[in-house]
């Protein structure tokens, strides 16, 4: 059990006390003590040092803090950490394995889907949720899915190309896995 209380909030500022919660992040269980007012984004970044989740606006506008909450993209600056009790959170650190980038990450790299990279973790996780549900989206569907994530560098064109390329890569990977399954 980790006490995040002193790490993210040296002094309690409310009388509401501290709550103990258990959250799964990228498949690892974390039992932590937090103040009820602590935002999920701050638990992830300051509390657990998973700094791939960025915070830009803190007001639900930019999408830089997007994580997957039981597979659904949410803006983690808009949720309290206590709401994640018992749920599965995926951050950008959960996409790659120790030796391999996720196909979405590969595609962002190949298609130049990022410049400064600030919006990129949120874009990738939103893209993952889309492609998990719709493996062959149209360009319009990609643009609609990403409409809650703002980028101030790329003009979006290459981000959309990256997501479409990731979709193709994942489909071909799925087809290869199926063929190998049939021949083994
Ligand atoms: S930091 Fe959460 S939406 Fe901008
Ligand atoms: S790459 Fe800079 S904000 Fe999107």
16-58 pLDDT, tens per residue?
Answer: 689 999 999 999 999 999 999 999 999 999 999 999 999 999 9
Instruction: Tell which CATH classification among 3.50.50.60, 2.40.70.10, 1.10.150.120, 3.40.50.300 matches the domain 103-178.
Output: 1.10.150.120
- Number of CB atoms found within 10 A of residue 183's CB: 5
Residues contacting ligand 1 via CB (< 6 Å): 55-58, 60-65, 75, 77
How many Å apart are CA 117 and CA 142, to the nearest integer?
19
pLDDT at 137: 98
Domain ranges of the chain: 2-94, 103-178
The closest residue, in CA terms, to atom 3 on ligand 1 is 60
Please report the atom of ligand 2 found closest to the CA of residue 123.
Answer: 4
Q: Looking at the structure, give the CATH architecture of the domain made up of residues 2-94.
A: Roll (3.10)
Please report the atom of ligand 2 found closest to the CA of residue 115.
Answer: 1
Task: Please give the distance, rounded to the nearest whole angstrom, from the Cα atom of residue 53 to the centre of ligand 2.
Answer: 14
CA-only gyration radius of the chain, Å = 18
The closest residue, in CA terms, to atom 4 on ligand 2 is 151
- Give the CA-trace dihedral at 8, 88, 113, 111, to 10 degrees: 140
Q: CA 112 → CA 20, 117, 158, distances in Å?
A: 42, 11, 6
Question: Does ligand 2 lie within 6 Å of residue 150's CB atom?
Answer: no
Report the mean per-residue pLDDT for the chain.
Answer: 92
Question: Does ligand 2 lie within 6 Å of residue 152's CB atom?
Answer: yes
Residues 103-112: what's their mean pLDDT? 98
Task: For residue 119, give the DSSP letter.
Answer: S
Task: Please give the distance, rounded to the nearest whole angstrom, from the Cα atom of residue 119 to the centre of ligand 1.
Answer: 10
Say what the pTM is: 0.90
Do 2-94 and 103-178 show the same overall fold?
A: no
For the chain, helix, strand, coil in percent to 5 are: 40, 15, 40
Alpha helices, DSSP H, located in 102-149:
103-110, 120-133, 139-145
- Number of CB atoms found within 10 A of residue 31's CB: 11
First to last CA, the chain: 43
């Amino acid at each position: 059990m980790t006490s995040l209380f002193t790490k993210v909030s040296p002094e309690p500022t409310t009388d509401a006390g501290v709550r103990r919660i258990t959250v799964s992040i990228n498949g690892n269980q974390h039992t932590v003590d937090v103040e009820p007012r602590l935002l999920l984004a701050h638990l992830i970044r300051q509390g657990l040092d998973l700094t791939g989740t960025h915070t830009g606006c803190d007001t639900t506008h930019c999408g830089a803090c997007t994580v997957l909450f039981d597979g659904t993209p949410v803006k983690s600056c808009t949720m309290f950490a206590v709401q994640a009790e018992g749920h599965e959170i995926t951050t950008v650190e959960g996409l790659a394995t120790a030796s391999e980038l996720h196909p979405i990450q590969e595609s962002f790299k190949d298609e130049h889907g990022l410049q400064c990279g600030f919006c990129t973790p949120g874009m990738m996780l939103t893209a993952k949720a889309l492609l998990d549900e719709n493996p062959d989206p149209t360009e319009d569907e990609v643009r609609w899915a990403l409409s809650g994530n703002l980028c101030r560098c790329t003009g979006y064109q290459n981000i959309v190309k990256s997501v479409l390329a990731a979709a193709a890569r994942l489909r071909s990977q799925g087809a290869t896995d199926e063929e190998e399954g049939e021949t083994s």
